[in-house]
Amino acid sequence: MLMIMVWGLPIFLFLVGLIVFVSNRKHLLSMLLSLEFIVLSLFLMLFIFLCLFNYEAFFSMFFLTFSVCEGALGLSILVSLIRTHGNDYFQSFNVLQC
């Protein structure tokens, strides 16, 4: 029963983040927030996996480093899109345009 609770919470968080990512496609900021939520739930799953099998949690630091870099890259893209287009709506700009 404890294993179901331990693995059930991160899987539930991942699925909720995935549902929010798929359903809320109007603003870029809300999509970036849901992606960060998915990454944090994946980090929780990775940490639980590493703790259950008594591995070192050093790999989780690499994962956190790359997720922070991904978040910073997403925010920089958001800032550049807001400066060029004035808002973060997906309907206001063409994604295929150079």
Q: Residue 77's pLDDT is what?
A: 86
Contact 57, 51 (CB under 8 A): yes
pTM: 0.81
How remote is the C-alpha of 31 from its chain's centroid?
A: 9
How many CB atoms neighbour CB 20 within 10 A? Answer: 16
Q: Residue 96's pLDDT is what?
A: 53
User: Which domains are present in the chain?
Assistant: 2-85 (1.10.287.3510)
Q: Look at the block and give the residue holding tokens 């922070």.
A: 68
Contact 72, 48 (CB under 8 A): no
Length of the chain: 98
Q: State which residues of the chain have pLDDT below 70.
A: 1, 90-98
Q: Residue 92's pLDDT is what?
A: 66
How remote is the C-alpha of 46 from its chain's centroid?
A: 14
